[in-house]
């Protein structure tokens, strides 16, 4: 799975390189990374067995709803709040200033740490130590800069985080038979997937962590070679989608100044850019993000609602 020196135009690694390169100079890279973080979290929730849409996360961030699925019963294997918190914690120590800025902006609107403590205390206790183990192993140097090395690392992590076997439950049936039911384990593949964007960065495939590159299937295939093949396909799909979304964001951002007809000192264009990532922001969040008074935030939101808004294609 080494990278080809002369790849075709639709080569997954070429598409990944184009996306990574465009993000270096794009004026909409901050918006893209913010949305990519939500898309990655949505994909992780699907792997963990609690499927949600990006819109569900945006509603939670905007304060319109509690964490997705928090009121749907007690059968979910893990809380969305725990997954979101662990996904965000992956980027806490990155040296990339843009990644830190977008993470700080998000946490100014929604404190994922407090939300996880409220809604997912037991999940944090269960998965927290495992995540620290996965994160440390993901940051270790790779022997070679190919995708097979990444796949090998994922299989090593899967083996090291496998829970120790425990005894099952003895159940007596109505006719007197004794049955031993195996304990119900909690899937850990999503936890490995959290680290995949960071591993791609550490292995040299990207120049910054792109959070939407989750890549893993719900269940690992039989071998690292097969996993590497599946990841190549996922890289192509995700990079192609990312290039389209970045182009759409750039067109939308370019229209903001024209549509709003704002002065240079106005914060309305900045608010419009924020709303591309987090639609439905409440006045309190706008006031914190833009460093204006609550009254000023309400006026900005009112002016934004009356103006024509950029629409993503």
Q: Can you say how many angstroms the Cα of residue 245 is from the centroid of all Cα atoms in its chain?
A: 15
| Residue position matching structure tokens 């700080």 | 104
Tell me the C-alpha distance between 134 and 303, whole Å: 46
Q: Are 188 and 134 in contact (CB under 8 A)?
A: no
Host H or E run for residue 231: helix 224-260
User: Which residues, in sequence order, are CB contacts of 1 under 8 Å at separation 6+?
Assistant: 146, 147, 148, 151, 225, 228, 229, 232
Q: What is the pLDDT of residue 232?
A: 97
- Taking alpha carbons only, the member of 88, 83, 76 closest to residue 49 is 76
Instruction: Please tell me the predicted confidence (pLDDT) of residue 169.
Output: 47
pLDDT at 196: 98
Cβ proximity of 205 and 13 under 8 Å: yes
Residue 263: other Cβ atoms inside 10 A: 8
Strand ranges in the chain using DSSP code E only, listed in sequence order: 169-172, 178-181
Model pLDDT, residue 304: 74
Task: Sketch the domain layout of the chain as residue ranges.
Answer: 14-163+185-258, 261-307
Global pTM? 0.86
pLDDT score at 97: 94
Q: Which of 92, 84, 30 shows the shortest CA–CA distance to 56?
A: 84
Regions in the chain scoring below 50 on pLDDT: 166-169, 171, 181-185, 308-313
Q: Residue 311 has what pLDDT? A: 44
Longest dimension (CA), the chain: 81
> What torsion do the CA atoms of 296, 302, 305, 310 make, to the nearest 10 degrees?
-20
Residues 169 and 183 sit within 8 Å (Cβ to Cβ): yes
Q: Among 187, 183, 186, 184, which Cα is nearest to 218's?
A: 187
């Amino acid at each position: 799975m080494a990278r080809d020196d002369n790849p075709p135009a639709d080569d997954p690694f070429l598409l990944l390189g184009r996306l990574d390169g465009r993000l270096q100079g794009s004026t909409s890279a901050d918006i893209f990374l913010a949305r990519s973080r939500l898309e990655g979290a949505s994909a992780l929730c699907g792997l963990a067995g609690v499927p949600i849409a990006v819109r569900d996360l945006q509603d939670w961030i905007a304060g319109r709803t509690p964490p997705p699925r928090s009121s749907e019963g007690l059968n979910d294997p893990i809380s969305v709040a725990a997954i979101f918190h662990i996904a965000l914690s992956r980027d806490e120590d990155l040296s990339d200033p843009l990644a830190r800025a977008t993470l700080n902006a998000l946490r100014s609107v929604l404190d994922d740490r407090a939300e996880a403590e409220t809604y997912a205390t037991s999940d944090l206790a269960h998965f927290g130590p495992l995540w620290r183990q996965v994160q440390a192993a993901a940051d270790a140097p790779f022997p070679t800069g190919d995708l097979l090395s990444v796949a090998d690392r994922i299989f090593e992590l899967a083996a090291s985080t496998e829970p120790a076997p425990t005894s099952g439950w003895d159940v007596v049936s109505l006719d007197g038979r004794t049955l031993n039911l195996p304990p119900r384990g909690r899937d850990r593949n999503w936890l490995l997937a959290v680290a995949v964007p960071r591993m791609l960065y550490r292995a040299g495939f990207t120049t910054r962590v792109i959070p939407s590159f989750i890549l893993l299937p719900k269940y690992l295939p039989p071998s690292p070679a097969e996993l590497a093949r599946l990841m190549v396909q996922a890289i192509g799909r995700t990079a192609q989608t990312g290039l389209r979304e970045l182009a759409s964001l750039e067109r939308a951002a370019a229209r903001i100044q024209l549509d709003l007809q704002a002065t240079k000192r106005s914060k309305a264009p900045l608010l419009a850019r924020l709303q591309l990532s987090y639609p439905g922001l409440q006045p309190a969040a706008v006031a914190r993000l833009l460093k204006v008074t609550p009254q000023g935030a309400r006026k900005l939101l009112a002016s934004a609602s009356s103006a024509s808004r950029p629409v993503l294609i």
